[in-house]
């Protein structure tokens, strides 16, 4: 089994990251924005894995486990917040939820 | 016994503290018990110390240092009390008259919402006044001086819901402040000269430091006089006192007649050494007294409001005290202060009872015929009025005022003009006093009596009436009896007046003249207001300008309005956009602009923030790559 060159993995991670970022910027629905954030997190995790395999060390996988845990926590908090926002504002549109205007 | 001295001012302060902290939560009957009780205990201690004091052979001086107040670079005033015969006379009047007025207030104010607040302020006042007269240094004296000023302000504006009461309170505070500023400068100069502010040390050193009539002594004496003039409502700062009658009647009796307004007399008597070294300043004291007593007397003749008559008469009587100080009759001034405190407190309290009985009617021309309805008030008021008018032989006011008249004539520093002013003043006093009596208690009944005062009001009146009569017999003039208990009591402290040589024999003539004038004044008032009740309205309509001029207190308010208030308002209108404010305003504007810019970025739209984060990250990455 030949190793996949690190560049390929990194390019895939960047593409994933950019996709997540762009969808985060163009989406108005908060649920989709949360999903976009998940994609970006996974892109970052992929970059760690690739880097770990490139240098043959376990640090990258350890970092990915951290990211996984954090993502789970983030989703639970994020979903709870989304529920509250919907409960109070009757909308999931982030542009309409602009009560914090200074 | 003298160790208890510190308790005398502390007890009223403690009472005030309790009432301020817990006043509204205490059961109502307990409030006057604390309020009057604390002052009553002070009076009791004063009595014990007083007996101790008099029974000793050499007149003792009690010094009590409580603690060191300030100690900076040689300036070390202590929190210390000094009791001698002068301060004993004052604390006697303050605690005893104060106690009677507290008892009176227990009934008088009982329907008021601010019952506890009233007693708290009244106690605070008594405490501050006691500090003022017991202070052993001028700084502590000034502390008490400002304390009584504050209480005066609080109590004039006691019924603060009415706008004019608040106005009167501010007027009193601001006008006395003018005098206080002069006094403060005087104190600074005293400290600069002597290096300390202890009254006794200043008294001992002053004759060594200054020559007779030295300029510095004159200046300091005049500055101290400024403070005294403000507090004691003398010319030219007298115009606050008539308006101060906006406060409840017990306040007028205690603060604006019996005690606080005589603080100026106390100050001058206390620093009499300085005034003796400055004959010019002392002469000015006499002139101010003489002019004020006449001006206020004429104003009192034309007032409608019962309390305003009494207010002008207070100004006028303090004018007598200043006149006495001006001719060096120190102990006569203090004697007149004491007698005046008795009868003027009595008159104010009785007037308050009349006003309460008639549903807050102040206008004397709407009163009348109260002689039968309110017999106790009538008789006590009559005794007080007789004392104020100085009816001969039977009243205390005769003995104290006669002394001033005699010394204004016979004293070394007296002159014919002082004497004539005092004599004319005595005549006017008799007229306006009995005008008040006849209008209020004689003639037909014009307003129905709705409320007959109870025993808590009657008993203080009767005690004060007794004091207004018998207190005079401790000082009987040379021409019959010659008894000088009060003067002897004060003598080592306040020197006797030097007489012009060979004038003793004329004393009975002066007394006869004064007696004839006061009886004549009373009869004239009887003729005008009882026998020919229409005559005074005819006179009033014949010379309305003169009447209004006197009634408005010689238009001093308009004068000050023109000289001080109007130019000040005009100038401040011109400089409304003060150029000094410009840099500060610009600073505010710039800050406000930047703040608005930042607030604009706080749009509340989540995606704007995301773009911000992304752009920031790109910027930092770019910079990281470039550098």
Secondary structure, 3-state, B433-497: HHHHHHHHHCCCCCCCCCCCCCHHHHHHHHHHHHHHHHHHHHEECCCCCCEEHHHHHHCCCCCCC
Place of tokens 């302060």: B13
Would you state the pLDDT for residue B481?
63
- Check residues B487 and B45 and name the one with the higher pLDDT: B45
The model's confidence at residue B480, banded by pLDDT at 50, 70 and 90, is: low
Q: Are B403 and B477 in contact (CB under 8 A)?
A: yes
Contact of A34 with chain B, judged by CB distance below 8 Å, is answered with: no
**Considering only CB atoms, which chain A residues are within 8 Å of B610?**
24-25
Q: Do A102 and B607 touch (CB under 8 A)?
A: no
Distance from CA of A100 to the nearest CA of B (A): 5
CB contact under 8 A, A97 and B598: no
Q: Could you tell me what percent of chain B has a pLDDT over 70?
A: 98
| pLDDT at residue B59, as a whole number | 64
Which of chain A's residues have a Cβ under 8 Å away from the Cβ of B600?
102
Compute φ and ψ for B554, nearest 5 degrees: 60, 25
In contact, B292 and B422? CB cutoff 8 Å? no
B99: pLDDT strictly greater than 90: yes
Distance from CA of B618 to the nearest CA of A (A): 13
Is ipTM > 0.95 here? no
Q: What pLDDT sits at residue B476?
A: 76
Does pLDDT of A1 surpass 60? no
Each residue's pLDDT tens digit, B230-275: 998 888 888 888 888 888 989 988 888 888 888 999 999 988 888 8
Residue-wise burial string across B541-552, b where 16 or more C-beta atoms lie within 10 A, e elsewhere: eeeeeebeebbe
Average of per-residue pLDDT across B428-441: 89
Task: Retrieve residue B415's tokens.
Answer: 């002159």
More reliable by pLDDT, A55 or B536: A55
**Using H for helix, E for strand and C for coil, what is the string for A4-38?**
CCHHHHHHHHHHHHHHHHHHHHHCCEHHHHHHHHH
Q: How far is A2 from chain B (nearest CA, A)?
A: 33
Q: Give B600: exposed, middle or buried? Use CB within 10 Å, 0-12, 13-18, 19+.
A: exposed
What is each CA distance from B487 to B82, B86, B286, B341, B476, in whole angstroms? 20, 11, 20, 18, 11
| Among candidate residues B115, B113, B117, B111, the one with its CA nearest the CA of residue B154 | B117
For chain A, give the longest Cα–Cα distance. 58
Helix (H, G, I), strand (E, B) or coil at B526: helix
Which residues 598-617 on chain B approach chain A with CB closer than 8 angstroms? 598-607, 610-611, 614
What is the least distance, in Å, from the CA of B597 to any CA of chain A?
Answer: 10
**Is the pLDDT reported for residue B449 higher than 60?**
yes
CA distance A75 to A40: 13
Question: Which of B599, B606, B614 has its CB closest to that of A102?
Answer: B599
For testing contact with chain A, the best of B598, B604, B614 (most A CBs within 10 A):
B604
B601, B608, B615: which is closest to A97 by C-alpha?
Answer: B608
Q: pLDDT per residue over B565-611, tens digit each?
A: 899 999 888 888 777 888 998 999 999 999 999 888 888 888 888 89
DSSP state of B576: S
Note the pLDDT tens digit of each residue in B3-18: 788 888 999 999 999 9
- pLDDT band at B547; cut points 50, 70, 90: confident
- Indicate whether B95 pLDDT > 60: yes
pLDDT band of B57, cuts 50, 70, 90: low
Residues B385-402: what's their mean pLDDT? 86
What is the rounded average pLDDT of the residues B391-396?
83
List pLDDT tens digits, range B333-354: 999 999 999 999 999 999 998 8
3-state secondary structure of B274: helix
Are the beta carbons of B522 and B428 closer than 8 angstroms?
A: no
**pLDDT for residue B128:** 92
Tally of CB atoms within 10 A around B245: 25
| 8 A C-beta contact, residue B242 and residue B553 | yes
Q: Among B511, B307, B553, B559, which Cα is nearest to B409's? A: B511
Contact B484, B406 (CB under 8 A): no
Helix H or strand E segment including B241:
helix B240-243
Given a contact cutoff of 8 angstroms between Cβ atoms, the answer to whether B439 and B367 are in contact is: yes
Mean pLDDT of chain A: 90
Residue A43 pLDDT greater than 90, yes or no = yes
Lowest mean per-residue pLDDT among A36-45, B179-188, B358-367: B358-367
Q: How many CB atoms lie within 10 A of CB B150?
A: 14
pLDDT > 90 in chain B, percent: 30
Sign of the four-CA dihedral B435, B438, B444, B445? positive
Q: What is the pLDDT, as a whole number, of residue B473?
A: 82
pLDDT on residue B212: 83
For residue B321, what pLDDT is reported? 92
Arithmetic mean of pLDDT, B46-55: 86
What is the three-state SS of B357-406? HCCCCCEHHHCCCHHHHCHHHHHHHHHHHHHHCCCCCCCHHHHHHHHHHH
Question: What's the pLDDT tens digit per position in B454-470?
Answer: 888 889 899 999 988 88
Which residue does chain B place closest to A18, by CA atoms?
B614
- Whether residues B607 and A98 touch (CB distance < 8 A) is answered with no
Q: What is the dihedral sign for C-alpha B320, B321, B327, B332?
A: positive
Q: What is the structure's pLDDT at B479? A: 67
Q: What is the mean pLDDT of chain B?
A: 87
């Amino acid at each position: 089994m030949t190793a996949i060159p690190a560049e390929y993995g990194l390019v895939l991670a960047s593409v994933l990251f950019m996709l997540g970022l762009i969808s985060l910027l163009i989406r108005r629905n908060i649920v989709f924005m949360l999903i976009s954030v998940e994609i970006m997190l996974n892109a970052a995790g992929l970059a760690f894995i690739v880097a770990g395999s490139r240098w043959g060390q376990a640090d990258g996988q350890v970092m990915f486990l951290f990211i996984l845990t954090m993502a789970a926590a983030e989703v639970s908090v994020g979903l709870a917040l989304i529920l509250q926002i919907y409960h109070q504002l009757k909308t999931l549109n982030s542009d309409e939820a602009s009560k914090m205007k200074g | 016994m003298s160790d208890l001295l510190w308790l005398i001012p502390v007890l009223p302060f403690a009472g005030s503290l309790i009432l301020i902290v817990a006043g509204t939560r205490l059961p109502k009957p307990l409030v006057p018990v604390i309020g009057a009780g604390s002052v009553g205990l002070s009076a009791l201690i004063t009595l014990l110390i007083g007996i101790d004091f008099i029974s000793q052979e050499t007149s003792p001086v009690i010094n009590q240092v409580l603690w060191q107040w300030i100690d900076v670079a040689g300036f070390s005033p202590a929190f210390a009390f000094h009791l001698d015969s002068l301060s004993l006379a004052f604390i006697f009047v303050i605690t005893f008259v104060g106690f009677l007025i507290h008892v009176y207030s227990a009934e008088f104010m009982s329907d008021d919402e601010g019952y506890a607040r009233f007693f708290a302020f009244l106690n605070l006042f008594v405490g501050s006044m006691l500090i003022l007269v017991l202070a052993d240094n001028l700084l502590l004296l000034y502390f008490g001086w400002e304390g009584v000023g504050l209480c005066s302000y609080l109590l004039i504006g006691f019924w603060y819901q009415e706008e004019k009461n608040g106005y009167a309170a501010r007027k009193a505070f601001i006008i006395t402040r003018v005098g206080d500023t002069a006094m403060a400068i005087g104190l600074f100069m005293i400290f600069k000269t002597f290096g300390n502010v202890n009254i006794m040390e200043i008294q001992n050193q002053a004759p060594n430091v200054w020559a007779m009539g030295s300029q510095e002594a004159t200046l300091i004496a005049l500055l101290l006089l400024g403070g005294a003039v403000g507090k004691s409502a003398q010319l030219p700062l007298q115009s606050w006192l008539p308006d101060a009658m906006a406060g409840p009647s017990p306040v007028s009796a205690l603060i604006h007649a019996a005690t606080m307004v005589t603080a100026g007399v106390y100050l001058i008597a206390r620093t009499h050494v300085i005034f003796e070294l400055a004959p010019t300043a002392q002469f000015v004291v006499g002139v101010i007294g003489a002019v004020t007593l006449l001006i206020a007397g004429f104003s009192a003749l034309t007032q409608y409001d019962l309390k305003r008559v009494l207010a002008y008469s207070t100004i006028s009587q303090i004018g007598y005290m200043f006149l006495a100080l001006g001719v060096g009759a120190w102990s006569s001034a203090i004697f007149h202060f004491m007698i005046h405190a008795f009868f003027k407190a009595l008159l104010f309290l009785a007037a308050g009872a009349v006003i309460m009985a008639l549903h807050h009617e102040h206008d004397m021309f709407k009163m009348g015929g109260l002689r039968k309805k309110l017999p106790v008030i009538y008789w006590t008021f009559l005794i007080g009025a007789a004392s104020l008018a100085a009816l001969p032989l039977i009243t205390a006011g005769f003995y104290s005022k006669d002394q001033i008249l005699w010394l204004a004539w016979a004293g070394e520093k007296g002159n014919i003009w002082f004497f004539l002013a005092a004599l004319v003043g005595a005549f006017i006093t008799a007229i306006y006093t009995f005008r008040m009596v006849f209008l209020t208690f004689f003639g037909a009944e014009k307003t129905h009596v709705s409320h007959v005062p109870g025993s808590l009001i009657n008993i203080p009146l009767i005690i004060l009436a007794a004091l207004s009569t018998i207190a005079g017999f401790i000082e009987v003039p040379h021409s019959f009896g010659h008894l000088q208990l009060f003067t002897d009591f004060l003598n080592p402290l306040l020197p006797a007046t030097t007489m012009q040589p060979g004038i003793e024999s004329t004393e009975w003539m002066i007394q006869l003249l004064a007696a004839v004038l006061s009886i004549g004044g009373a009869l004239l008032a009887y003729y005008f207001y009882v026998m020919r009740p229409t005559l005074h309205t005819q006179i009033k309509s014949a010379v309305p300008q003169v009447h209004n001029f006197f009634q408005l207190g010689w238009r001093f308010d308009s004068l000050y309005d023109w000289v001080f208030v109007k130019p000040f308002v005009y100038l401040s209108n011109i400089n409304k956009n003060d150029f000094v404010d410009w840099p500060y305003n610009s600073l505010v504007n710039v800050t406000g602009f930047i703040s608005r810019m930042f607030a604009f970025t706080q749009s509340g739209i989540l995606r704007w923030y995301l773009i911000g984060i992304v752009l920031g990250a790109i910027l930092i990455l770019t910079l990281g790559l470039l550098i």
